[in-house]
């Protein structure tokens, strides 16, 4: 049951993703910035043309609730929390490659600065901005929104990526106070505050907006021993998304949509810090992918959501059940991916 929808999605999305994903990649690495921009514009224009019927339909619907709504057209304005490293950084990079405007943020001002420097070096000054923001602080998040408003005027896609595991994998009874509090407040409290501010901002935008919450291990309700607190918070992420979807439906809001986004296992610090048991090493080798690979897949999927004007909540998964099982199978059958990232036994 759980696998079915995601498989359906992964079957339908490749029709879009090869074009925008690999093509972009090629262009951006070989040719200069300007042609890319034009190319992506043209292509996405085509997309929106092909998706015209759905857009106009949603328009007429939306016009019932809010008088002035515009279709969302690229380049999109993207805000990603916790985006100075790992999957957040990779996503930011991928969005920039697609020609979008990106705002990055993180708890540490220095990391924001260095990430900004790298990204600006690659994509120019006018597409990426960054500020310090601790998602656990309501005021910080409010400042982030006003910063985004000042730089970009509106936000189309808001990705709640900031998450923490305190980089420790221990049974709960050995975890320290600070770790536990950090995990819960970052993953749950931070997410809730961000969602609230994002919805608040997007309700006032004629273009509406899309919010993506990143899930993690445990979000399907399966147990996560050695990182119980993290699993519990990620489970609550999925539930929050569900409740918010229901809430927005109750309020008859059609142009602000909350989605889930599942990057699967990504070889970031968060995951690798737990690679000290045999079982963990096995699964990391078999199932995990580098952040760049994941982002390369996810970004076209994310961008296709506003592009085809859908107002339905989605659950975008990188590591679908089918994919996971086939990888595990090929590992057992052919020994594929052995010792890929980590030396086993």
Partner 1 sequence: MAAVAKIHVSTPLHWHLTGQPPPVRLEFRRNLVMLETISVIARSRGRRRPCVRSFRSGEGGGGGGEKEEESSRKGGDLMENNRVRSNKGNYTGLDFLKSAFLRSPLDDRFQDALDKLEERLFSIALQIGRYIVTMASTGLILLIGFQLSGGDSQLNDLVWYSWLGGVIIGTMIGSNMVLDEVSRAGPRNVVITGSTRGLGKALAREFLLSGDRVVIASRSPESVYMTIKELEENLKEVMVSEGGSSGNMARAKVVGIACDVCKPDDVRKLTTFAVSEFGSIDIWINNAGTNKGFRPLLDFSDDDIQQIVSTNLVGSILCTREAMHVMKNQNKGGHIFNMDGAGSGGSSTPLTAVYGSTKCGLRQLQSSLLKECKKSKVGVHTASPGMVLTDLLLSGSTIQNKQMFNIICELPETVARTLVPRMRVVKGSGKAISYLTPPRILLALVTAWLRRGRWFDDKGRALYAAEADRLRNWAESRARFSFTDAMEMYTENTWVSVFSLSVVCAFIILSSTGSTFPGT
Q: Each residue of 287-307: b (16+ CB within 10 Å) or e?
A: bbbebbebbbbbbbbbbbbbb
For residue 175, the minimal CB distance to partner 1 (Å) is 7
Residues that bind partner 1 (CB under 8 A): 138-139, 171-173, 175, 177, 180-181, 184-185, 188-189, 192-193, 195-196, 199-200, 203, 218, 221-229, 231-240, 242-247, 249-251
Judged by beta carbon, residue 223 or residue 335, the one nearer partner 1 is 223
Contacts of 85 by beta carbon, 8 Å cutoff, 6+ apart? 106, 111, 115, 268, 269
Q: What is the 3-state secondary structure (H, E, C) of 236-275?
A: HHHHHHHHHHHHHHHCCCCCEEEEEEECCCECCHHHHCCC
Considering only CA atoms, which of 221, 237, 139, 144 is closest in space to residue 186?
Answer: 237
For residue 249, the minimal CB distance to partner 1 (Å) is 8
For residue 167, the minimal CB distance to partner 1 (Å) is 18
Cβ-contact 247, 191 below 8 angstroms: no
- Catalytic hit among 47, 154, 230, 297: 230
Q: Kindly tell me the number of DSSP H helices and DSSP E strands found in the chain.
A: 15, 7
Beta bridge partners of 259: 212
How far is Cα 160 from Cα 169, in angstroms, rounded to an integer? Answer: 23
Contacts of 286 by beta carbon, 8 Å cutoff, 6+ apart? 327, 328, 331, 337, 340
Judged by beta carbon, residue 225 or residue 335, the one nearer partner 1 is 225
Q: Is 230 a catalytic residue?
A: yes
For residue 331, the minimal CB distance to partner 1 (Å) is 23
For residue 245, the minimal CB distance to partner 1 (Å) is 7
The CA R_g of the chain, rounded to the nearest whole Å, is 20
How far is Cα 117 from Cα 105, in angstroms, rounded to an integer? Answer: 13
Judged by beta carbon, residue 116 or residue 183, the one nearer partner 1 is 183
Q: What is the largest CA-CA distance in the chain?
A: 63
Judged by beta carbon, residue 220 or residue 269, the one nearer partner 1 is 220
Judged by beta carbon, residue 131 or residue 219, the one nearer partner 1 is 219
Judged by beta carbon, residue 55 or residue 166, the one nearer partner 1 is 166
For residue 297, the minimal CB distance to partner 1 (Å) is 26
Q: Which sequence positions are flagged as catalytic?
A: 230
């Amino acid at each position: 049951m759980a696998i079915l929808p995601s498989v359906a999605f992964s079957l339908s999305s490749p029709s879009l993703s090869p074009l925008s994903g690999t093509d972009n990649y090629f262009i951006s690495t070989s040719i200069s910035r300007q042609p890319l921009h034009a190319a992506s514009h043209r292509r996405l224009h085509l997309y929106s043309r092909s998706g015209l019927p759905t857009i106009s339909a949603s328009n007429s619907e939306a016009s019932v609730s809010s008088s002035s709504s515009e279709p969302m057209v690229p380049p999109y304005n993207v805000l990603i929390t916790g985006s100075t490293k790992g999957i957040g950084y990779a996503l930011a990079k991928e969005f920039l490659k697609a020609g979008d405007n990106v705002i990055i943020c993180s708890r540490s001002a220095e990391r924001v600065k260095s990430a900004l420097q790298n990204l600006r070096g690659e994509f120019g000054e006018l597409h990426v901005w960054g500020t310090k923001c601790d998602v656990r602080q309501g005021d910080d998040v409010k400042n982030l929104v006003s910063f985004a408003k000042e730089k970009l005027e509106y936000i189309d896609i808001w990705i709640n990526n900031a998450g923490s595991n305190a980089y420790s994998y221990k049974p709960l009874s050995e975890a320290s106070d600070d770790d536990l509090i950090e995990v819960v407040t970052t993953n749950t409290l931070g997410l809730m505050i961000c969602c609230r501010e994002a919805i608040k901002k997007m309700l006032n935008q004629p273009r509406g907006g899309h919010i993506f919450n990143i899930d993690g291990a445990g979000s399907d309700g399966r147990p996560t021993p050695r990182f119980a607190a993290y699993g519990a918070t990620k489970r609550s992420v999925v539930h929050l998304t569900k409740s918010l979807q229901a809430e927005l439906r109750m309020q008859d809001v059609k142009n602000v949509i909350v989605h889930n986004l599942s990057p699967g296992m990504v070889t970031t610090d968060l995951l690798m810090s737990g690679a000290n048991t045999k079982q963990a090493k096995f699964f990391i080798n078999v199932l995990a992918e580098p952040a760049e690979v994941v982002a390369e897949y996810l970004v076209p999927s994310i961008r296709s959501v506003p592009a085809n004007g859908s107002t339905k909540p989605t659950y975008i998964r990188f590591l679908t059940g089918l994919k996971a099982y086939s990888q595990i199978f090929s590992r057992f059958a052919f020994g594929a991916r052995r010792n890929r990232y980590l030396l086993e036994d």
